[in-house]
Chain A
Amino acid sequence: MITFRLLEVAAAFLVLGAATAFFTRRRRKVCGWVSVAAMGGAAVLMIAVAVRAFAGAADAEVSVLPIASLRSALSVRVDALSALFLCVSGPVAWMTTLYSVEYMSRYTKDSVAKYFPVLLLLFFSIAGTVVTTDLFWFLVFWEVMTLTSFFLVIYERENRESHRAGLKYFIWNQGAALGMVAAALVLWRHAGSFGFAAIRDALGALQVSNPLLAHTVLFLFFAGFATKAGLLPFWNWLPDAYAAAPSSATAAFGGTMSKLGVYGLLRVFLHLLPLGSFTTSWGVVIACVGLASLFIGTLAALQQDDTKRLMSYHAIGQVGYMFLGIGAGLALLRTNPLLGTMGLVAGLFHMVNNCFYKSCLFLGAGAVEFRTGGRSLAAMSGGLGGVMSATMACSLIASLAIAGVPPLNGFASKWLMYVTGILGGEVSFLLPVAALVAMFISLVTLASFLKYLGGAFLGAATEVKGIREVPMTMLAPQVVLATLCIAAGLLPIVPLRLVHQAVVGLPSAAGLPALSALVGPGPNLALVKDGVVLATWAPMPVALVLLVLGAAAFFGLQRAGGAATRTVPVWAGGEEEEPALMRYRADSLYRPFKDAFHGMYPHVPPLQLSVPVFVRRTLDLDRWLFRPIARGTADAARGVSRTHVGIPQVYLLWIIVGAVAVIMTILLVSGGAP
């Protein structure tokens, strides 16, 4: 009950905050700070709820707002998986809201009434989605999430690009959501209720009685979640929509919303679906789609020039890692519980890490756009690091984290994934190959983010006059997120405990090996089996040795000779050239490599539906109804106007003609009798 009360207060914070923000819309900063306060209160409560859930406080399911005719009610229960998503998305949401206060001053033509209240409602719906245990309300919150994020994508009123992107986003996600509604209705018919527990029983029975229908239902759910996460066949909307929305909203999408695809996947395949042969076969499908997605998404990212589009394609690639880990885990779960659990934990841990570095990267790209107004890497002059050093430091840490450079957090989750893949070699030849592909792609990620850093931040600061560091309220969120990247990288055991608890708390995953069987007691990660160390990663000693040796090399060798330092201009082969003329542009980097993979890039032609001509004509009311009426009315009016020419004699004539006509009419009507 306490959990429910806390969530109620959090919801009240968000909804009332949205209302207050709407009424204070005339004063942009006030509106922003109201939202920050509301989101902050809600985030603290969400963390409190999560702490309670992780501590094992078993709150019973609370149901309110019953709808008798649907046999559904808003039931709320926070298990460890919900708690994990609450405690990750709460702080990330708070940080993006804080960042927005200053960032939204960029958009002078558009009112913040379209932004802050909608953002708060988006976070409200995200929290609602992860805490409900009723499929009907899950879908309601899911739809609210799609709708609010749609309004954030089309925020700029005068930007046609963003409207197109928004429409595309809406159509893709709405289509996918309709599929989920259909699947939910099928399950409702068999279960008689929308409650998760009843549906789990019904789906278990359906697997036996009608496997085809069960597969269809699972496919519709998978398609819905894959669309929201931006996985390969359903990814088309993502780069456009992410690039169109304001950067702060994009960070919220990448850091919180798209991760609900992962939440839904785990909820359906490990909660609604009882463990069985279906789990294994769908695990293979999910892993294959994830692998394809990470391969193609990341290679496509290397081609991008626009900073936000580059990161959006990486979002596709990164979600591929998560689905690969979770899919491999689901596939191995029955035959090899140890590796299965490792895969699941690796995928979900990667999701947590991704929330931190992905939102930090989007905020960094937003900061660059805020100060320079540009997003094209080829057009950037570089050298921003000289004037925006704190932003660069955060973006550098997040870039290295996403590329999996040790000892940051991205490496910790990738390490788990590779270990699963390589040790899974005894089960299937494909698992080590998948691990090798993932390793190669992590290098491509590195290449792509070095290009971003090089294009935007590095180089001589010659053309950055008048550019300053972003304000504190925009800097602080980036610093917090970058710090989380380092902390989760150095002490991976802490987030891993929560992630493992979230996985094994699910009904179909009960009884899986304990975390200490996977990675030892900590703080170092070590997979030990029968006294033999199979794999090990200890970030703290590595970081410590690196720092000690680095300091020794710096003071003992590099500065030992006491060499004097001098500042010199860049050497250009003896020529005296303007820096702008001899800059090596970011789009020239890795040309031969990009050309080698040119055929790989997905090119999906825009969706074109061809409707028969007569249907279009029939539906086109303009053509056969409105336009003829309008034209007729206009012609008649023109005819009438022609009679009014301003000459008295003509008017006199009209009067006579009219009088005659009236008399004739009266005579005709009365039939000649007076």
Chain B
Amino acid sequence: MNAAYLRTAAIAVLDVALLLVLSPLFEGVLRKLKAALHSRIGPPVVQPFVDTLKLLGKDDLLTVHSRAYAVTPALALASVLVLGTMVPIGGVPPLGFAGDVVGIIYVAGVGAVLLILTAFASGSPYAAVGGSREMMALLSVEPVVAVTLVVGAMKAGTLSAGGISAWNASHGPTISMTLAGLALFLAVQAQAGKLPFDIPEADQEIMGGPLVEQSGPRLALFRWAMWVRQLVFTLLLVELFFPWPRSGVFLLDLVSALAKAMLVLVLVAVVDVVNPRLKVEQAMGYYLRVAFSSLAALAFAVVGM
């Protein structure tokens, strides 16, 4: 029993460390790729690390003073890391005993709540617009994520994320799971905050939206949280809906999961490069259609396909 506990704790620590280190690295690779598509040289791959390190030492400019306001960036980063430990990486979610897919959907919301609260609290009108858009983005994307996870839960007969992953790995592709996976892939674009769905941040328009009044270490942590978030959602996609091949060896599965996540993120970056930003209404309409289409996956799941 003790060995099992130790193993879970070790995997949790490993996952947290991997997410913290790899998410800026992946972002760096994506920037390089985007630059290549733009025919630019682009920043070095480690640029996100360098930016973060520099920001951590910069002055912290605050518009309001309150103890709760001071800790929101740290809590936002912590909440996506908790989310990361609830999602299987290499087939094993270390915190899987604590939360199932419903927990994943709601813990994913915690980070967004903290960001929106920070935006409203900062007192900037740009941040308020950004917070409002962030909420609308959540309202349009979250139903898609929920539908796909419910499809997975119904197919596997369990709500546990690890259980769904294992079931899918052993049963091979099915129509409903593939459809659900495609829908979740479309949702990842918005969850990662990439074009054409970077509406809440919209740098050229509302100057970073919720983050407009964040600077120094606060900005660094919020950005880091965003990078972790995009990696976690990609891992959720590949581990639950495209878990093959699963070798059963943890480290091997871990590497293959990360490689697949990288592949998905490359696709996301390509879509980002070739698309202009949508308006909020257009994005909502798009995801409404995706959500209703993904109900087809639910229908297939009900009839057992």
The answer to whether A and B assemble together is yes
B 95-126 to A, binary, CB cutoff 8 A, 1 in contact else 0: 11111101101110110010011001111111
Q: CB distance B62 to A596 under 8 Å?
A: no
Determine the distance from Cα of A550 to Cα of B100 in the docked complex, in whole angstroms: 22
Q: CB distance A460 to B56 under 8 Å?
A: no
Q: Given A536-B99, A584-B129, A596-B281, A570–B117 Cβ distance below 8 Å? A: no
Determine the distance from Cα of A559 to Cα of B298 in the docked complex, in whole angstroms: 46
- CB neighbors of B among A344-385 (8 A): 382-383, 385
Q: Which of B124, B146, B302 contacts A425 (CB 8 A)?
A: B302
Q: CB distance A568 to B61 under 8 Å?
A: yes
Judge whether A560 is part of the interface by a CB distance below 8 angstroms.
yes
B 190-229 to A, binary, CB cutoff 8 A, 1 in contact else 0: 0000000000000000000000110011101100100000
Q: CB distance A554 to B74 under 8 Å?
A: yes
Q: CB distance A458 to B139 under 8 Å?
A: no
Inside 8 A of A524's CB, which chain B residues have their CB? 97-98
Using CB atoms, name the residue of chain B closest to A440: B143
Shortest distance from the beta carbon of A334 to any chain B beta carbon, whole Å:
22
Q: CB distance A592 to B98 under 8 Å?
A: no
Q: CB distance A553 to B59 under 8 Å?
A: no
Shortest distance from the beta carbon of B277 to any chain A beta carbon, whole Å:
15
Q: Which stretch, B34-42, B76-84, B243-251, B268-276, touches the partner chain A? A: B76-84
Q: CB distance A558 to B218 under 8 Å?
A: yes
- CB neighbors of A among B269-291 (8 A): 280-281, 284
Q: CB distance B120 to A453 under 8 Å?
A: yes
Judge whether A484 is part of the interface by a CB distance below 8 angstroms.
no
Q: Which of A461, A560, A561, A590 has the most CB of B within 10 A?
A: A561
Q: CB distance A406 to B106 under 8 Å?
A: yes
Q: CB distance A461 to B124 under 8 Å?
A: no
Q: CB distance A537 to B98 under 8 Å?
A: yes
Q: Which stretch, A21-29, A55-63, A441-449, A655-663, touches the partner chain B? A: A441-449
Judge whether B142 is part of the interface by a CB distance below 8 angstroms.
yes
Using CB atoms, name the residue of chain B closest to A461: B64
- CB neighbors of B among A529-562 (8 A): 532-538, 541-542, 545-547, 549-554, 557-562
Judge whether A565 is part of the interface by a CB distance below 8 angstroms.
yes
B 46-68 to A, binary, CB cutoff 8 A, 1 in contact else 0: 00000000001111111111101
Judge whether B91 is part of the interface by a CB distance below 8 angstroms.
no
Q: CB distance B117 to A458 under 8 Å?
A: yes
Judge whether B186 is part of the interface by a CB distance below 8 angstroms.
no
Q: CB distance B146 to A588 under 8 Å?
A: no
Inside 8 A of A389's CB, which chain B residues have their CB? 66
Determine the distance from Cα of A573 to Cα of B212 in the docked complex, in whole angstroms: 10
Inside 8 A of A554's CB, which chain B residues have their CB? 71, 74
Q: CB distance B221 to A422 under 8 Å?
A: no
- CB neighbors of B among A228-261 (8 A): none
Q: Which stretch, B21-29, B155-163, B177-185, B254-262, touches the partner chain A? A: B155-163
Interface of B is mostly: helix
Q: CB distance B64 to A542 under 8 Å?
A: no
Q: Given A422-B153, A566-B60, A450–B135 Cβ distance below 8 Å? A: yes
Judge whether A337 is part of the interface by a CB distance below 8 angstroms.
no
Q: Given A558-B221, A582-B125, A533–B62 Cβ distance below 8 Å? A: no
Q: CB distance B217 to A549 under 8 Å?
A: no
Q: Given A406-B106, A541-B95, A553–B78 Cβ distance below 8 Å? A: yes
**Chain B interface, number of residues (Cβ within 8 angstroms):** 83
Determine the distance from Cα of A450 to Cα of B136 in the docked complex, in whole angstroms: 12
Q: Which of B59, B81, B116, B280 contacts A450 (CB 8 A)?
A: B116
Judge whether A423 is part of the interface by a CB distance below 8 angstroms.
yes
Determine the distance from Cα of A454 to Cα of B85 in the docked complex, in whole angstroms: 31
Judge whether A569 is part of the interface by a CB distance below 8 angstroms.
yes
Q: CB distance A571 to B212 under 8 Å?
A: yes
Determine the distance from Cα of A212 to Cα of B99 in the docked complex, in whole angstroms: 46
Inside 8 A of A535's CB, which chain B residues have their CB? 100, 102, 158-160
Shortest distance from the beta carbon of A558 to any chain B beta carbon, whole Å:
5
Judge whether A432 is part of the interface by a CB distance below 8 angstroms.
yes
Q: CB distance A536 to B97 under 8 Å?
A: yes
Shortest distance from the beta carbon of B126 to any chain A beta carbon, whole Å:
8
Inside 8 A of A453's CB, which chain B residues have their CB? 117, 120
Inside 8 A of B139's CB, which chain A residues have their CB? 440, 443-444, 447, 590, 593
Judge whether A411 is part of the interface by a CB distance below 8 angstroms.
yes
A 133-161 to B, binary, CB cutoff 8 A, 1 in contact else 0: 00000000000000000000000000000
Q: CB distance A542 to B143 under 8 Å?
A: no
Inside 8 A of A433's CB, which chain B residues have their CB? 295, 298
Inside 8 A of B302's CB, which chain A residues have their CB? 425, 429
Shortest distance from the beta carbon of A349 to any chain B beta carbon, whole Å:
15
Determine the distance from Cα of A592 to Cα of B100 in the docked complex, in whole angstroms: 32
Inside 8 A of A567's CB, which chain B residues have their CB? 61-63, 65
Judge whether B33 is part of the interface by a CB distance below 8 angstroms.
no
Q: CB distance A565 to B59 under 8 Å?
A: yes
Shortest distance from the beta carbon of A475 to any chain B beta carbon, whole Å:
17
Using CB atoms, name the residue of chain A closest to B128: A584
Q: CB distance A440 to B60 under 8 Å?
A: no
Q: CB distance B281 to A450 under 8 Å?
A: no
Shortest distance from the beta carbon of B116 to any chain A beta carbon, whole Å:
6
Judge whether A386 is part of the interface by a CB distance below 8 angstroms.
yes
Judge whether B75 is part of the interface by a CB distance below 8 angstroms.
yes
Q: Which of B98, B123, B135 contacts A447 (CB 8 A)?
A: B135
Inside 8 A of A406's CB, which chain B residues have their CB? 99, 103, 106-107, 110
Shortest distance from the beta carbon of B165 to any chain A beta carbon, whole Å:
13
Q: CB distance B78 to A423 under 8 Å?
A: no
Q: Given A524-B98, A535-B102, A572–B298 Cβ distance below 8 Å? A: no
Judge whether B132 is part of the interface by a CB distance below 8 angstroms.
yes
Q: CB distance A537 to B99 under 8 Å?
A: yes
Determine the distance from Cα of A584 to Cα of B77 in the docked complex, in whole angstroms: 27
Determine the distance from Cα of A547 to Cα of B216 in the docked complex, in whole angstroms: 23
Inside 8 A of A440's CB, which chain B residues have their CB? 139, 142-143, 146
Q: CB distance A454 to B128 under 8 Å?
A: yes
Q: CB distance A563 to B159 under 8 Å?
A: no
Q: CB distance A533 to B160 under 8 Å?
A: yes
Using CB atoms, name the residue of chain A closest to B94: A545
Q: Which of A405, A542, A566, A593 contacts B99 (CB 8 A)?
A: A542
Shortest distance from the beta carbon of B76 to any chain A beta carbon, whole Å:
9
Q: CB distance A450 to B158 under 8 Å?
A: no
Using CB atoms, name the residue of chain A closest to B52: A557
Inside 8 A of B75's CB, which chain A residues have their CB? 546, 550, 553
Q: CB distance B216 to A563 under 8 Å?
A: yes
Judge whether B150 is part of the interface by a CB distance below 8 angstroms.
yes
Shortest distance from the beta carbon of A531 to any chain B beta carbon, whole Å:
12
Judge whether B16 is part of the interface by a CB distance below 8 angstroms.
yes
Judge whether B131 is part of the interface by a CB distance below 8 angstroms.
yes
Determine the distance from Cα of A526 to Cα of B116 in the docked complex, in whole angstroms: 32
Judge whether B235 is part of the interface by a CB distance below 8 angstroms.
no
Q: Given A405-B109, A425-B154, A592–B143 Cβ distance below 8 Å? A: no
B 1-24 to A, binary, CB cutoff 8 A, 1 in contact else 0: 000000000001000100000000
Q: CB distance B106 to A460 under 8 Å?
A: no
Determine the distance from Cα of A423 to Cα of B160 in the docked complex, in whole angstroms: 12
Inside 8 A of A14's CB, which chain B residues have their CB? none
For the A-B complex with A536-B99, A542-B107, A559-B217 known, give 13 more contacts whose Cβ atoms are closer than 8 Å. A425-B150, A426-B154, A440-B143, A453-B120, A533-B160, A535-B158, A538-B98, A542-B99, A549-B82, A560-B56, A563-B216, A567-B63, A588-B132
A-B contacts, 23 of them at CB < 8 A, read: A403-B113, A419-B102, A433-B298, A435-B150, A454-B117, A454-B131, A458-B120, A458-B123, A459-B120, A460-B123, A461-B64, A536-B159, A536-B160, A537-B102, A538-B97, A550-B71, A553-B74, A557-B224, A566-B60, A568-B62, A570-B122, A590-B132, A596-B284
